[in-house]
Structure formats: C-alpha cells, structure tokens
Structure 1
Amino acid sequence: MRIFRKITTPSNYHHHQLRSYVSTCRAVVLPSFGGADKLQLRSDVPVPPLKPNHVLVRTRAVSVNPLDTRMRSGYGRSIFEPLLPLILGRDVSGEVAAVGESVRSVIVGQEVFGALHPTAVRGTYTDYAILSDDEVTPKPTSLSHVEASAIPFAALTAWRALKSTARISEGQRILIVGGGGAVGFAAIQIAVAAGCNVATTCGSQSVDRILAVGAEQAVDYVAEDVELAIKGKFDAVLDTIGVPETERMGINFLKRGGHYMTLQGEAASLTDRFGLAIGLPAATTFLLKRQIQYRYSHGIEYSWTFMRADIEGLIEIRKLCEAGKMKIPVDKTFPITQVKEAHEAKDNKLIPGKVVLELD
C-alpha cells in the first residue's frame, strides 16, 4: 500500500493543518456477478480524490447486508453491470481520515458511522471508504465499531418507511411483518421509541428479543395462525418479507387511511428482466396501478420503500443508540480476509442474524 501523500487544504479552511491522504488501499472487489468465490481482496485499489462534501473514513467494521449478497449475485445488474468492478458494502463504522473542504459536520480523527445509498458503486468493503457528509455522523460512544456498523443501513431503511412515508405518531398501532431481520428489528425499536403500539411476526428464535425491546406482541408465524393471533387494525404495516401472502395479509390488517410499505419493490427485478428502457417504466406503471387499486378497494396508501441518505434520520438513530433504545445484535464477525466465507455463510443461511466484517 502506498501510504501517505500530503495534500494541503485551502487556507480559509477552519482546521489549518496538512491532511494525510492515501492513494491506494485494500478493498474487496467484485469483477463479475456470481457466487462468493467472485469476491477478490486486492491491496492496491485506488482511492479517488475527495469532492468538497466527501468524508474519507478509515474503516474498522462493515456489516453484510442482504443487498450485498444480492448485488454480488447479479440483482440490479441492469444498473451495475456497466459499472463493474464494484466494491460492495453499505454500512461503515470507523474514524475520519480526511474531509473535503466544505465538510463542517465531522473532523479528522473523529469516530463516525453511516451508510451509503443502495446504488453507490464504491462501497465500504475497503480500508478507506468515501461517504458524503450527509451519510455519516459521530458514532454512538456506547457502541463498539462492530455494533455500530450493523445499524445505519437497516435503521435508515426502517426510518424512511415509518417516519418519512407513514409519518407515525404516538399512540398509533404498527405491524412489522418479519421483525426478526435487521430492518424489522430496527423498525420495532423506532416505532416503540415514537410511542407506538407494535405487533410483529417473526421466527421462534426472535420472539424473546423482540418483546425485550418493547413490542406488545410477537407472533411466531410458523407455530401460529397470524391472522387469528393478531387482533384489530393498524395505522401502518411495514412488510420486510414482501411475498404475495404477506402483502394480502398486511393490506387486510390496515385501517382506512393507513400505509402499507414493502421493502420488496419490483423496480430492480423488472429492470433486470427487461433492461432499463422497458423495465423501469414497467415498474413505475406496476406501482401506480397497485397504488390506485388499493386506494380504491381499501382506502389505503401503498408504497415501495428503500433506504435513502437522511442526515436527520441518522442523527435521530444515533440518539436512540445513545439512549439505549436502538441496537441490532451481531451474530458473528469475520476478518475482511474471510469475506468469501462470510458471504457463503449468509448464502447458505448458516447465520440467521447480522454478520460483520472487521478491518484492522
């Protein structure tokens, strides 16, 4: 690794000091789509120059999200194929190594965490990740880098659905379908913190920890008939499973004026099947039809939800973490040198919960 090239920042910058800046670093590169064996750890991957709003993060931990293994297998190929090789990874926890000249929110040396947008091409499976200043915030001091890295992408996905789309408020009833996964578990904690009454469906192994963070009801969908076990109607349903059966059920559990939100929107899969020119308009049409259909038949709002960078959301998530109201359990960590093994474990469903890669 060529280590440091000194660069000066403009004299009006409020930290008058020389910045050290790396030109190359280690990164896990994906040259083509496929199995975990496609991932390559390279030691001389270029670090592009920072734009004015960029933050260079010395990575300590990154979590493996379902999006990472899906992208590796070719999900979203219509968007990403022309951009190969990719660096996967969305979440990061680490220290600020350098900042662009317009960054004021964090300073060099500070511990931070954050997440990239789903379509970012240069991800976080690298010693030096680059995020914009609205994608990082100081790391909660109560959490280790491993714990912190598991949170931002999942929590921001849940935040966008519950806070931006459904605009949940105190006293409302919220149903989370699939509360055991990272997004579902984050959503439960966000809704509980907002003063909502939360019911959820989950696997038997998740029941205890879901009740422990304040959900009123956790229904084991294997052992129980969900539609008999859950009573009454809800103001919002977040469906993290997104199969036709959970969609039908979720819609039927809503009050008039309620919000159904699914993580499994058709945009990427339709676009992959038919290409951008046909697939994206087809997905838009499909969504619009659903929205009109459900507004007419059930009087509810229907939406596809996905993570977007949102600095207010990230700051609120940090505050929840610091107050002990947001945590996503990490089941296993791997060193970055074992990234293939980590992906294989997720592919083969050997580890149900969060997997984190550590970088030293």
Structure 2
Amino acid sequence: MRAMRMNRYGAASVIREEAVPRPAPDRGDVLIQVAATSFNPSDVGLRRGLLRAVLPLELPYTLGGDVAGTIVEVGDDVHTLAVGDRVIGRVDTGGAAAEFVTAAADTLVVAPTAVPLTHAAAIPIAGLTAWQAVYEHACITSGQRVLVNGAGGGVGGFAVQLAKHAGAHVIATASTRSADVVRQLGADETIDYTAAPLGDALDGPVDVILNLVDLAGRPAAALMSLVRPGGVVVSATVALTAPAGSSVTAVSFVARNDTGHLASLVKLVDAGAVRVDIAASRPLADLASVHLDAESGRVRGKTILIP
C-alpha cells in the first residue's frame, strides 16, 4: 500500500510516499480502509522534531492522526464494530496518511451521516480540542461573552460553533480571508487581529478567552487583561499563567482522546448544529506541499487528504 512517511526529522521534504506492507489488526484492533485523513498544525512540530521530548517517534513514521474510513477487517475480541462500518477517530500512533491503517476499536466512533465520509476526517483532533476547551475547561454557559482567539483555524471553527451552541455571545479573531467563514459558523462579532490591538477592538471585557494560537512573543498579560475579574482563559497552544494577585483563572491543556466527547460531537454534526468546514481537499501525495503551505501561512481551516 501507499503511505506518506518520514525517515528522519526535518523540513517538509522529509515526507515521502513509500510502498509499505498492508498492516494486519492485532487483538482489539480493526483495519480501516482510509477515506481521508486531515492536516493539523501540530503535524509541523511533529515532523520538525519539536515535540520529540513529549512525543518521541519510532522512525520511519507514517503521518496522520485523524482518520475517517471503512472497516475491512476486525481482530480478535472486537465485538462493537464490524466489517463495513464507517468510522472516525484519533489515531494517537499515527499511520492514517496511508491507504489502510489499524486502530484500537475502542478509540473509534461511528462516522456522521450528514457529511461525506472524507469530510468527517476533519473532526477528531480539532473537534476534541474544541469540545474540551469549551465544555470541560472553560465550562461556557449561556449569556457569557467569549473571545475565540484564532477562530480561522480548524480548532477555532469548531470552538466558535460549540461556544455558540452553549449560548454564548461569540467574538472571534480572524484574518480578512477567514472573517466571512467565521461569521457563517456563528460568530456574533469578528475582529481583524492584524488591524489593531485586541484591547482597542473589544467593547469591554469578556468572560472567557479561548486561545488557539501561538502568541508569537506577545506578552500573555495583555491577553489576560481582556478578561473580567473571575473570568477564565483557556489555552490549547501555549502555557499561560495568571498574573500574581489576579482573580482570572488560566488553564493550559493538551486534548486527550475521548470517544464519549467525539460521539457527542458527531451527534451535533448529524443534527445540523455543527458544520464541518473543509477549506481544501487534496490528494494524499500532496502532504509535503500542505506542510510547506502551512509554514508559509497559506493554510486556513481544515485541509483533508484523500488516498
């Protein structure tokens, strides 16, 4: 089978298409024929070796942490899924940037039926991150003013919708190329972060900030100052600490694989409450080019890759 692999850490050019044996499912696993995987910004850090202290890879390594596909074989002791089932999931060991991948059955959920199976590959990693930011860490409730900092990304698109679904008034930072889409996803207000400091554009403090971007050297205190006393800042990217003496709560987290959260998100997609926004659909062989585009700032939202 074809797989997009890296044999060493480095530039995007280390990603190569290779012929590798088709895997076989172990006990508790299933074999999935991949309909699509998706690109996540963290893939760049993974490929460059910036995450090796917390996530060392066994090289050569097949990329791809999101999967949507159809089960073609089941291993022993798998009773909840069957051949022919269409599933999605987060594959923490990678390998979904290929024609076939194995995954533990208990990490998968039935794919939504309201969107094409290929589009559903955009959900697991970005969707889980947004779900846990909104509902588990920020605990957003109806009537709150919520600032989504970085709404133009894949996580941001889901976060805007989930915060809106929770009843919040959503203010989203987005570039001019993303603003229209972010508004379509439910943002009540958009702020062009390139035009003026956030503090100048906001009409008063917010209850919650969801930070989904690298602050690029900007002081975290400036972000914290936008939250009312007793408010919450949740960061899925950089570690944040509330200033001494502040009543603001700062939470930094790494999303975990949770099939309960993923299944709940699928229900919202099937109910039409959450939209899966696909910015680009590309052949799997283009994966290295997608990495280059991301490093040049040319990737918006979710890009899916199809074998």
Q: With structure 1 as the length reference, what TM-score do the two structures score? A: 0.78
Q: What is the Cα deviation at residue 239 of structure 1?
A: 0.7
Partner of 2:40: 65
Measured at CA, do residues 93 and 196 of structure 1 come closer, stay the same or move farther in structure 2, by a change above 3 Å?
same
Counterpart amino acid of 2:232? Answer: H
SS at match of 2:223: helix
Partner of 2:288: 340
SS at match of 2:26: coil
CA distance in 1, matches of 2:106, 2:56: 27
2:234 maps to 1:261: yes
**1:78-120 Cα shifts (integer Å, max 9, x gaps):** 3455622222111111111233444444322011112234xx3
User: Superposition RMSD on alpha carbons, in Å?
Assistant: 2.2
SS at match of 2:32: strand
Work out which of the residue numbers 69, 72, 90 in structure 2 matches 1:115: 90
- Map residues 82-231 of structure 1 onto 2, 5 A cutoff: 83-117=58-92, 120=93, 122-231=94-203
CA distance in 1, matches of 2:63, 2:16: 11
CA distance in 2, matches of 1:245, 1:40: 36
Partner of 1:298: 246
Seq. identity, %: 28
Contact 1:239/1:247 (<8 A) preserved: no
Counterpart amino acid of 1:263? Answer: A
CA distance in 2, matches of 1:265, 1:184: 15
Work out which of the residue numbers 336, 350, 357 in structure 1 matches 2:298: 350
In terms of Rg, which structure is larger?
1
Partner of 1:42: 18
Partner of 1:269: none
CA distance in 2, matches of 1:180, 1:186: 10
SS at match of 1:321: helix
Higher mean C-alpha deviation, range 92-101 or range 176-185: 92-101
Query: Gaps spanning 5+ residues in structure 1: where?
Result: 1-24, 267-286
Counterpart amino acid of 2:42? Answer: L
Partner of 1:28: 4
Greater relative CO, 1 or 2 (CA 8 Å, sep 6+) = 2
CA distance in 2, matches of 1:42, 1:355: 21
Contact 1:179/1:185 (<8 A) preserved: yes
Partner of 1:240: 212
Work out which of the residue numbers 265, 283, 286 in structure 2 matches 1:317: 265
Q: What is the Cα deviation at residue 203 of structure 1?
A: 0.6
CA distance in 2, matches of 1:104, 1:170: 40
Partner of 1:8: none
Q: What is the Cα deviation at residue 29 of structure 1?
A: 1.6
Contact 2:23/2:31 (<8 A) preserved: no
Contact 2:210/2:233 (<8 A) preserved: yes
Q: What is the Cα deviation at residue 192 of structure 1?
A: 0.8
Partner of 1:16: none
Q: 1 or 2, which has the higher helix percentage?
A: 1
**1:216-258 Cα shifts (integer Å, max 9, x gaps):** 1111112244212212333321111231537333311223332
**1:246-297 Cα shifts (integer Å, max 9, x gaps):** 733331122333221112235xxxxxxxxxxxxxxxxxxxx7xx3xx54x42
The alignment covers a number of residue pairs equal to 306
